[in-house]
Amino acid sequence: MITARNLTKRFGRLIALDSVDLEIDEGLTLILGPNGGGKSTFLNLCAGLYRPSKGEIKVLGENPWSNDGLRKRIGVSFDPPALPKHRTAREWLNYLARVKGLGEREVREAAELFSAVKYLDRKMGEYSAGMLKRISLTQAFLGKPELVLLDEPLANLDLEGIKEVAGVIGELAQKGTNMVVISHIWRPLGEFADRIVVIAAGRVVLTGTPEEVVPEIEGI
């Protein structure tokens, strides 16, 4: 699904991602690691938001940088959510659906997954952080994309929300949805993961199945 070769991203003199080689196959991949390690930078490179400073990244066989064709095939939820605050969620999601060649039915189906239907008609500037997260997740799963990239999908949710959204992600993983999910901590999403990648200080420091990786990272 994703291949990175010597992938490097610099911001001025800071090296956020340093010569990363990584292969991500189908299934659910959980990316773990400490703050500032480079996880979101990797996801933003996958989503085509950043251009590599050096090296190469391929997502679904394509170069993601500024690639509108690929954007229609993947779904992304950023953290914090990147949503226009003067629009209602319905306006925004219908717009995205049109761009992807989808309709209002797909918007409703994705919103139902995250119990977001009831507040689709308010301006997003009035939303709580947890409501914004649910809209951001709805956006990511709109129209069942071939690959879904989620940055901290449980952030800003209350305890009930964490249980509910983790359950939905687990169910979708079981049904075969391909996902790359960033998290600070391996619980509760780790139990659904096919593999775990640990990124720290701009490098991939561990990869493997949860059984292989979790004993090494009990402290994270």
Ligand X SMILES: Nc1ncnc2c1ncn2[C@@H]1O[C@H](COP(=O)(O)OP(=O)(O)OP(=O)(O)O)[C@@H](O)[C@H]1O
Q: List, edge to edge, every strand of the sheet that includes 54-59.
A: 14-24, 2-11, 54-59
Instruction: Pull the structure tokens for residue 19.
Output: 């010569």
| Piece in contact with ligand X (CB under 6 A), picked from 36-44, 69-77, 82-90, 167-175 | 36-44
The least distance separating ligand X from the CB of residue 203, rounded to whole angstroms, comes to 11
Bridge partners of 196, per DSSP, are: 30, 208
For residue 28, give the 3-state DSSP assignment: strand
Rounded to the nearest 5°, which phi and psi values hold at 9? -130, 125
* DSSP state string for 164-208: HHHHHHHHHHHTT--EEEE-SS-TTGGGG-SEEEEEETTEEEEEE
Nearer CB in complex with ligand X: 49/168:
49
We find the least distance from the C-beta atom of residue 35 to ligand X, in angstroms, to be 3
Task: Say whether residue 13 binds ligand X (CB under 6 A).
Answer: no
> What CA dihedral angle connects 158, 170, 92 and 51, to 10 degrees?
110
Assess 156 for contact with ligand X (CB under 6 A): no
Count of positions on this chain that bind ligand X (CB under 6 A): 12
What is each CA distance from 69 to 75, 149, 216, in whole angstroms?
Answer: 12, 16, 39
| Amino acid of residue 217 | I
Q: If binding is defined by CB under 6 A, does position 11 make contact with ligand X?
A: yes
Residues in the chain: 220
Q: How far is the CB of 120 from ligand X (least distance, A)?
A: 28
| CA angle at 59 for the pair 53 and 65, rounded to the nearest 5° | 40
Q: Does 37 bind ligand X (CB under 6 A)?
A: yes
x/- binding map, residues 166-195, to ligand X, per CB under 6 A? ------------------x-----------
Q: Tell whether residue 8 is a contact of ligand X (CB under 6 A).
A: no
The answer to whether 32 and 207 have CB atoms below 8 angstroms apart is no
81 binds ligand X (CB under 6 A): no
Q: State the minimum distance, in angstroms, from the CB of residue 105 to ligand X.
A: 34
Say whether residue 145 binds ligand X (CB under 6 A).
Answer: no
Residue in 33, 52, 64, 190 binding ligand X, rule: CB under 6 A: 33
From 38-46, 107-115, 116-124, 140-148, span contacting ligand X (CB under 6 A): 38-46
Contact call for residue 77 and ligand X (CB under 6 A): no
Smaller CB distance to ligand X: residue 106 or 152?
152
Q: How far apart are CA 146 and CA 219, in angstroms?
A: 33
Sites of contact with ligand X (CB under 6 A): 11, 14, 16, 33, 35-41, 184
